[in-house]
Amino acid sequence: MSARLFDRDTILDITVNLVPLAILGFFFVVFMVLNPWDGGLTLKRIIQFVLIGWIFTALAVLTYFAAKAIEGPET
């Protein structure tokens, strides 16, 4: 068993998912901090945060399992 979770090649392979994760995280933080529509916590903002958060979580889980599949079975 290696000391690191994923090696360099695996991280390069899952970069295609890490970039959208970074973008989703950026927008989640920006919309939490800036509140560009001055509306308070309305149903629209709750739905917005649920959609961004749900997609971020699903993509993070998918990326983890994809990286585990790329690594292959443990020997």
Number of compact structural domains in the chain: 1
pLDDT reading at 75 higher than 60: no
In a domain, 59, yes or no: yes
- Is 3 inside any structural domain? no
Task: Look at residue 26 and tell me if it is in a domain.
Answer: yes
> Could you tell me if 66 and 6 are in contact, meaning their C-beta atoms sit under 8 angstroms apart?
no
- Tell me, what amino acid is at 19? V
Global pTM exceeds 0.85: no
Is-contact 28 54, C-beta < 8 A? no
With tokens 């989640």, the residue in question is 28
Q: Is residue 21 part of a domain?
A: yes
Residue 6 lies in a domain: no
pLDDT at 2 over 70: no
DSSP H helices, the chain, are: 8-34, 43-71
Inside any domain, residue 45: yes
Does 36 map to a domain?
yes
Domain that holds residue 29: 16-71
